[in-house]
Amino acid sequence: MLDSFLNILKNNKSNQVDIESNQEDILYVGGILLEAAAIDGQIDDTELNKVKSSLVNFFQINEETSNNLVEQCLSKEVEINSFHYFTSKINKEFNYEKKIKIVEMLWEIILVDGKIHDFESSLITRVCGLLYLSGVDCGNAKKRAENNLEQLK
């Protein structure tokens, strides 16, 4: 019984280390997702909730951690005005497949409110270029995002 308890504590501690080591990556991805949510002039609750759930699913973190990290990103939103900042960090830390998944999450956030603004389309084009992703992969990411959102209905 004592061994089980010690294993639980050990696993919780190692999970905390994983979150801490991934925190910067989560902040980069969270930052770019929030930028996508805000590019049309406002972040509504559906977009904010989609950002949080995307971080939970992508990084396998709990909701509380996601909420805290999104709050950190929102407090830094005014400080960083360049997608290049986020994309340069993402290019260093993530492989091609994970970058495609990030673009898919961006599409989900853009599509979740049911409207695609010109600024949002421009954002995707710029981000795909900065992440060195092909147009085909970006188009496929959009289709998967649409399917994902349709399944949630």
Class of domain 2-152: mainly alpha
Q: Which residues make Cβ contacts (< 8 Å) with residue 5, sequence separation at least 6?
A: none
pLDDT tens per residue, range 3-33: 433 344 344 443 443 556 688 899 889 989 9
Q: What tokens does 60 get? A: 């396998």
Where do the domains of the chain lie? 2-152
What DSSP character marks residue 43?
Answer: -
Report CA-CA distances (Å) from 133 to 6, 105, 125, 137, 141: 45, 14, 10, 7, 11
**Does pTM surpass 0.85?**
no
Which pLDDT tens digit goes with each residue over 46-55?
999 999 999 9
